[in-house]
Structure 1
């Protein structure tokens, strides 16, 4: 039996709670490659997907089948042919694609039907619905090459998919579509997933792929993964890259992410299926694990409003408990919410500070400067400080001051100098807690 350590489990579970609340009722379209299934990752992935659905996320799952079709063709002594990264689907390849799709749908449905005790699937009831949700058209002839039965998505039956989701089902889509005359076309998983996400105006499109994401340096294959790309930056990067002809090429999945975001999908993600739990890490942690393309930067630095009170309380509570901050009650924060600046990421508050002005002394107190322990060291504290200083200047204040018992050196490095408590404005001096013996630090504003 696994041992549960409350000192690590409880803070972690509380940390993911805001994400759970934020994603309830949201729509995710998830695309998985045939390579992921071939690598034996299906069962663990299905368990993670079932957890998401149990938390109220509406899910459409699209599977790929490149290696499975190639294996079927090889068994029949037929050679796989591609043009510009797309399979040329002759009649034999079409038969192989249909066989592979049928087998994979069987495996996926079986995986969702597991209910073994002591696994994430215990007590899970995941109803999987498939159907003729896709209308397709032929690719036709590309640069003189007849693509035969290869197609692209013409239309997605978004109403039908939503109806299935409304009934609590997970919708499973294979990369197959039919023309109005009933002709079958082999589609790509990426095209199906992207078209479906746009048609549903999904909140997220997530690709579980053989690549780790987009590297910060295209010249250095060992450089860190760029965890967030603004749509404009992704478009510029894509324009610099050669046309992708393989899923391993940097631009292959990126072009679908860009297309999705340009089509109204809020966020699109490239995740490595090789990392166990990549889907959960991307959804429930601050920086995720892969690359996310978003129409605008998710991190927002702004003045707080009444809806932020709960988030601020949750953020500062651990620091009040260990004595770093003076305890503030909800009524006090609600009364003074207009004094607060917050920094949020994906709807979750990760930092805050208050500016209490003393206009008669042309100064203001910066209080409750807090950055979540999960993101410390990433510069959020500096960004909040800069915003507070800008607010102070706009009020006509010539300085800001802080009272601290533990973070004196952080402020000194940022231009604050220590003064005696007698320096404080009279109104603040009357509330000074001599037992706490907080140090007073002041920064002059240029």
Structure 2
């Protein structure tokens, strides 16, 4: 294969995601550390690319390190409690000034259009304003938080109108009250409430961590809020990961389809997460995007694509489209983000109270994740529900996998008469049986 232009292959594979993201609403939080560490320019270019591809963008701008620097320069040490600082007048003066400076910096970069820049020819209108309403945190544990606040509501209708006009909406971590006050807000909380109010398709949180990891150091690609809860319990209040994970779980519970935890340190994180099938970070979703379900007639094309390499290698008997259509109700599939990556079939031989476990297949890129075990467990569940007492399988290549899962070698005479009569002697498949009692 010609590999002079590897990006071409990536571009071809990304086309389904380009189509899927067009017209969708993404809320993206960029923590202030990304700008402080020099990653802001690249992220802005990525935002411009998303905009040109038709994504409706709301960007929440974190400013914590910039405010810390301003406070240190002024010799101001804020009091802290429960992971938040107490935003008195001295603190709030720096927060407001830094928020204005960072907004102007970002607007200027999004206006850049010189011929030698990635934004050449891209016209973006950036709009900010009093789009987030806030209320004070008040007095907690005897401490008055002064002008530290929390989100009361997001003016979602106004934001939708701006997005409909093709604008990029920029939200600083500030909120406004009906009494005319300005409150310091947590940027992750602003992002979460905005995504929830808009019913956003994605909430993307760009922070220090590149996702969530288990005790063995393995990246967790996808978790539900319930699965993420133990990890959240280990974090400290106010830590970035605690804020991001808390926002992600709350957003998932309140209808945001997918929340992504990514690291701004990874040059390719944002585009890699959005335009590849497996992504690069951790996704929090109320409903798993990899699901085991009954096959449908629309899965025929995916099944043919999955099975063809195994049929070509002689591991599976070739199945025509017509046969798959006729037997589709016998199949279960594992679907991952619209792609069939695994399947198995249960063919019923009621007279013998046996079922054939057939066509067990997992895509080569997704083996090693216990997906075969899940398919077998689902077929066994179906078989028991149908009153079958045993499963049998015919295999030429994978006998040991079946042995490891409770099958034993049997004779041709142990098969149901109808299946025995259609046995292909040329293949010399091993006969394996597993009681279901």
The question of a shared fold, defined as TM-score above 0.5 by the shorter chain, is answered with: yes
Mapping 1:20-39, distance limit 5 Å: 22-39=20-37
Q: Does residue 227 of structure 2 align to residue 244 of structure 1?
A: no
Instruction: Name the counterpart of 1:359.
Output: 350
Mapping 1:68-83, distance limit 5 Å: 68-83=66-81
Q: For 1:323 and 1:78, locate their aligned partners in 2 and report how far apart those are by CA, in whole Å.
A: 73
Q: Does residue 177 of structure 2 align to residue 179 of structure 1?
A: yes
Mapping 1:44-443, distance limit 5 Å: 44-113=42-111, 126-217=124-215, 223-235=217-229, 238=232, 240-241=233-234, 244-247=237-240, 251-284=242-275, 288-320=279-311, 323-418=314-409, 425=416, 427-428=418-419, 437=427, 439-443=429-433
Q: For 2:313 and 2:126, locate their aligned partners in 1 and report how far apart those are by CA, in whole Å.
A: 48
DSSP-derived class of the 1:336 partner: helix
Q: For 2:431 and 2:110, locate their aligned partners in 1 and report how far apart those are by CA, in whole Å.
A: 59
Q: For 1:356 and 1:267, locate their aligned partners in 2 and report how far apart those are by CA, in whole Å.
A: 36
Q: For 1:91 and 1:76, locate their aligned partners in 2 and report how far apart those are by CA, in whole Å.
A: 13
Q: For 2:109 and 2:12, locate their aligned partners in 1 and report how far apart those are by CA, in whole Å.
A: 30
Q: Is the 8 A contact 1:34 1:67 kept in 2?
A: yes
Q: For 2:120 and 2:315, locate their aligned partners in 1 and report how far apart those are by CA, in whole Å.
A: 42
Q: CA deviation at 1:137?
A: 2.2
Q: Which moved more, 1:335-344 or 1:180-189?
A: 180-189
Q: Is the 8 A contact 2:408 2:434 kept in 1?
A: no
Sort the Cα spacing of 1:431 and 1:166 in 2 relative to 1 into closer, same or farther, 3 A.
farther
Unaligned residue ranges in structure 2 (runs of 5+): none
Sort the Cα spacing of 1:388 and 1:175 in 2 relative to 1 into closer, same or farther, 3 A.
same
Q: For 2:252 and 2:242, locate their aligned partners in 1 and report how far apart those are by CA, in whole Å.
A: 15
DSSP-derived class of the 2:170 partner: strand
Q: Is the 8 A contact 2:188 2:244 kept in 1?
A: yes
Q: CA deviation at 1:386?
A: 1.8
Q: CA deviation at 1:174?
A: 1.3
DSSP-derived class of the 1:97 partner: helix
Sort the Cα spacing of 1:322 and 1:280 in 2 relative to 1 into closer, same or farther, 3 A.
farther
Q: For 2:180 and 2:387, locate their aligned partners in 1 and report how far apart those are by CA, in whole Å.
A: 72
Q: CA deviation at 1:131?
A: 3.1
Q: Deviations over 1:134-164 (max 9, x none)?
A: 1222233333433333222221111122222
Unaligned residue ranges in structure 1 (runs of 5+): none
Q: Is the 8 A contact 1:231 1:296 kept in 2?
A: no
Q: CA deviation at 1:428?
A: 4.5
DSSP-derived class of the 2:104 partner: helix
Sort the Cα spacing of 1:332 and 1:52 in 2 relative to 1 into closer, same or farther, 3 A.
farther
DSSP-derived class of the 1:384 partner: helix
